[in-house]
Amino acid sequence: MSIIYLLLTISVIVALVFFIAFIISVKKGQYDDTYTPSIRMLFEDELIKGGDATTTEGRTDQPTTKKEQLS
Amino acid sequence: METCFHCGDNCNNDTIIHQDKFFCCNGCKTVFTLLYENDLSYYYDLALTPGITPETIEGKFDFLKNETIVAKLLDFDEQGTQIVTLLIPAIHCSSCIWVLENLNKLNPSIKTSQVSFPKKTVHITFNSADLSLNSLVSLLCRLGYEPSISLEDYSTTKKTIDKSLIYKLGVAGFAFGNIMFLSFPEYFESNEFWLEQYKHVFRWLMFSFAVPAVFYSASDYFTSAIKGLRSKVLTIDVPIAIGISVLFLRSFIEIAFDLGSGFLDSLAGLIFFLLLGKLFQQKTYSFLSFERDYKSYFPIAVTRIKKASRTTPSPLINEEQVQIHEIKKGDRILIRNRELIPTDGILVSGSALIDYSFVTGEAKPVSKSPGDKLYAGGKQQAATIEIEVLKSVEQSYLTQLWNNDVFKKSSQSTFQSLTDAISKRFTIGILTIAFVACLFWLAYDSSKALNVLTAVLIVACPCAIALAAPFTLGNLLRVFGINQFYVKDAKIIEKMAHINTVVFDKTGTLTSNSQNVVTYEGIELTNDEKVLLISTIRASNHPLSRALYDILKKNDIKTLDGFQEDLGQGIVGTINNQQIKVGSYSFVETGTQKLSSPTFSEKVNRTTVHISANNKYKGCYVFYNEYREGVKEVFDQLSKNKQIVILSGDNDGEEATLKKLLPNDSTLLFDQKPEDKLNYIKELQRQGQNVMMIGDGLNDSGALAQSNVGIVISENVNVFSPACDGILAANQFKNLMALLTLSKQGIRIIKYAFVFSIFYNIIGLGFAITGNLEPIVAAILMPLSSISIVVFTTMCTFIAGRKLTNKTKFER
């Protein structure tokens, strides 16, 4: 049963990884505005100009990351 | 009646039809065309009539040509890229978010833009080589999204958002979850061999999770408890701190000496729920500011006339945009229509028609001639004027108001919230029970004495008491917010429940600035005369002319043959030798045949516009203050158990009307200067009254700060309002009594929650005193009590709030 030492260690490490991810996300400002992303994700994707209405082009996430780099 | 496709307003006579859609004005149609041609018509799919009519005054953002000002406004300026964060109060729906985040389609020099809806800001990154800040702002204005740039944005350093509570909550939640998990084996009491072998590992692991929870997440409670004890005040943080430390110490000792498994799961759970309550209570309205002073009312820059220097001998006037801090005595500045006068000065040239209503409360604009002194804070209503500055901005009359002691005094910390009042008794009670029980057991069976002492201190859950108020008040804050009453923080709600006197300002608070009621007294005008009248007043910029024009029916407008404006006095218009004079009585009367003695009296202070046609006096239009909807009902409801006082900066012209609306024992005072209002409230408070002040202008700021609860009524909550405790939207004024009642109900709900929590405490104490407090019992009781209190208060506030929301929904 000494395997329990290994199991405990692994589970604690996994938990810590998620905890660190949480800290990083708060630092990056993801919790500053919790309302606007909920509206933003409901916007429709852009349509390719001239194409039929069924084809869509996904909106890129560049704006957010670019902002992160510069600020 | 068609409604505008863009902004939703009614299209009056000037409907514009474009692409099979109706627009109320050219501005709306222009925005539509702009969006349509850039493939942005999705704007209209997201929300119904999301648009805003663009309304910018020429030259309003000229100060953005000044490099130093721009440098202070930008967040980032490097290598041809600039980043700016602009406050746009007009953001109100998802279409706004969408179009503002797609600005790059309108102008490719804009790289990215991101909206923060709660703060109503947009964060724009753009190529500064191709696009200046000035052009960016004009693009936004053309769309109808005019940014608001005031002196306050300019001077404050970037505020870092306080995220510490989120971090602490994260640590506490992390610890709570993991400790609960690790303590599972211990719950199932069995003499399992492997359990005995490894229990130390589990226990010390739990302990290591608990350490950051106690020393980081709960640190606020310890510091606050120590502060409270030092000033000899027993706040709710004291029993919480005691509970946490006893829990921690006892668990440590039990684990170290193998006496038991400790109560670490209850400890982590306690900290987690307490912090959750704190977060819940922290609801803030980031797009509003309750701390505004004159700085957010003032512009950043003014147009200054450059003195002709020796190197520029030409007589052309050179204008420059300067920051208002740089204005010195002797400078000449230009103030345009609807611009604010930033500092005391003397009128040099131009016709001044100054609206001081926000500063002194006087509703009627005053006209001044060259040589007259003008004070800071007034808004110019006529055309451009030139002023010679007498004092710098900081020294003018207006800013002296902020030197009054009432602004320096820190917020009244003498108010003891209900939670603190209860916690005092609670702490003393618990400590007494703990020691008595301990002594009892010392005599009876001393092995259990310490056990019982700590058990009592652990189980006496102050968390139920600590959670009742935050959740109730937090919910009430939300209910108020839905009903467009934005409160600064939860303590204000408790204060509101104790109010017994309500003081109202008149101009702008009880009266509505947006509507005027006009009646005509005198001889009826013929149709020709009416047409002449309308055409004449249309050409004038005087606010009374504008107001009259909006009210009268515009049938035919004919072009005038002659028009003359005698500023401050009146206007003359002629068509086909028919002449009409409009203005003050003396202006209109000169040269007229007196038909009959005047049927009005100038002694009563009323706003009047007199008419004479072809030198015959006809009559006058009288402007009445339009009182807000429901004023009579509000007074009736309030007078049942509260005193009402009206303090007005205006003259007593409305005294008779007000007396009819108010109950008999109310006080009415007129011509009140800002200091008078402040002193009156001080006097009321000295008499032991709890005063609520309702106002709207800078002239009320002293009174608002002095009163127990200061509320501002606002037609548009995005526009400046002076420092206050709460902002009430003007159309919700009629619900004032309901809001006060709701706050009283909130206090009652908190009291019920306390009673509820005592019930839990009795059960818990039963276990504790008899020495039977097992970790599992504590682990069940404490979360159970916390959750049930939360559910109870949420349900009660929901039911209480629903009555108010239904009432307003029904009437909308």
> How do residues B478-505 score in pLDDT, each as one tens digit?
889 888 898 888 888 989 999 999 999 8
pLDDT value at position A58? Answer: 40
Contact between B488 and B725 under an 8 Å Cβ cutoff? The reply is yes
Do the Cβ atoms of A19 and B119 come within 8 Å? no
The answer to whether residue A66 neighbours chain B at the CB level (below 8 Å) is yes
What is the arrangement of strands in the sheet containing B379-380, beginning at the earlier edge strand?
B366-368, B352-355, B379-380
CA distance A19 to chain B (A): 7
pLDDT single digits (tens) B704-749: 888 999 999 888 776 777 778 899 988 889 889 999 999 999 999 9
Q: How far is CA B100 from CA A35, B6, B107, B110, B143, in A?
A: 16, 16, 12, 11, 10
Q: Which residue of B has its CA nearest to A34?
A: B118
Distances in whole angstroms, Cα of residue B257 to Cα of each of B202, B261, B768: 15, 10, 21
Q: What integer pLDDT is reported at residue A47 of this predicted model? A: 63
Q: Could you tell me how many helices (H) and strands (E) chain A has, helices first?
A: 3, 2
Nearest chain B residue to A44 by CA: give it.
B42
Long-range contacts of B492-495 (CB under 8 A, 24+ apart): B492/B709, B492/B725, B492/B726, B493/B743, B493/B746, B494/B415, B494/B417, B494/B418, B494/B743, B494/B746, B494/B747, B495/B415, B495/B690, B495/B708, B495/B709, B495/B725
CB contact under 8 A, B178 and A15: yes
Which residue in the set A1, A31, A40 is minimally distant from B97, CB to CB?
Answer: A40
Between chains, do B97 and A36 touch, taking CB under 8 Å as contact?
A: yes
The mean per-residue pLDDT over the stretch B34-61 comes to: 82
Q: What is the CATH number of domain B1-53?
A: 2.30.170
CB pair distance less than 8 Å for A26 and B170: yes
- Cross-strand partners of B518: B623
Pick the CATH number of B62-155 from 3.30.360.10, 3.40.50.720, 3.30.565.10, 3.30.70.100: 3.30.70.100
Map residue B315 onto helix, strand or coil.
coil
- Residues B270, B171: Cα–Cα separation, whole Å: 13
Does the beta-carbon distance from A70 to B81 stay under 8 Å?
Answer: yes
The answer, yes or no, to whether residue B132 has pLDDT greater than 50, is yes
pLDDT-derived band of residue B431, with 50, 70 and 90 as boundaries?
confident
Q: Give the phi and the psi of residue B90 in degrees, each rounded to 5.
A: -75, -5
CB contact under 8 A, A67 and B111: no
The residue of B45, B81, B122, B167 whose CB has the most chain A CBs within 10 angstroms, and thus the best one to mutate to test that interface, is B167
- Choose between B407 and B635: higher pLDDT: B635
CB-count burial class (<10 Å; 0-12, 13-18, 19+) for B163? middle
pLDDT at res. B598: 52
| A64 at B interface, C-beta within 8 A | yes
Q: What are phi and psi of A44, to 5 degrees?
A: -80, 155
Q: Which residue of B has its CA nearest to A14?
A: B178
The span from the CA of B488 to the CA of B721, in Å, is 13
Using CA atoms, how far apart are residues B5 and B21, in angstroms rounded to an integer?
6
Higher-pLDDT residue of B102, B770? B102
B108 phi, psi to nearest 5 deg: -65, -10
Could you tell me the end-to-end alpha-carbon distance of chain B, in angstroms, rounded to an integer?
20
Looking at residue B157, its pLDDT comes to: 59
pLDDT score for A6 = 93
Higher-scoring residue by pLDDT: B570, B218: B218
B167: chain A residues, CB-CB within 8 Å = 23, 26
Structure tokens at B656: 């008779």
**B376-405: burial string, b at 16+ Cβ within 10 Å, e else:** bbbbbbbeebbbbbbbbbeebebbebbebe
The pLDDT tens digits along chain A (71 residues) read 789 899 999 999 999 999 999 999 999 888 888 888 988 888 887 666 554 444 334 444 334 333 333 33
Q: Does A63 contact chain B (CB < 8 Å)? A: yes
Q: Is the pLDDT of residue B446 over 50?
A: yes
Residue B569 has pLDDT above 80, yes or no: no
- Residues in Cβ contact with B568 at an 8 Å cutoff, skipping those fewer than 6 apart: B351, B353, B367, B369
**Testing the interface with A: which of B88, B95, B111 to mutate, by most A Cβ within 10 A?**
B111
Closest in B94, B178, B194 to A39, CB measured: B94
Q: Which residue has the higher pLDDT, B150 or B405?
A: B150
Predicted TM-score (pTM) of this structure: 0.79
- Nearest Cα residue in chain B from A27: B163
User: Are residues B170 and A8, on separate chains, in Cβ contact within 8 Å?
Assistant: no
Instruction: Give the CATH fold of the B314-400 domain.
Output: 2.70.150
Q: Which residues of B touch A (CB under 8 A)?
A: 39, 42, 46, 75-76, 81, 83, 94, 97-98, 101, 111-119, 123, 125, 161, 163, 166-167, 170, 174, 178, 194, 197-198, 201, 205
Instruction: Tell if the CB–CB gap between A36 and B197 is shorter than 8 Å.
Output: no
CATH topology (fold) of B484-511+628-743: Rossmann fold (3.40.50)
Beta-carbon separation of A1 and B194 below 8 A: yes
Confidence of residue B802 (pLDDT cuts 50, 70, 90): confident
Suggest the residue from B44, B46, B114 to mutate for an interface test with chain A (most A CBs closer than 10 A): B114
How many residue pairs from chains A and B have C-beta atoms closer than 8 A? 70
Shortest Cα distance, chain B CAs vs residue A61, angstroms:
11
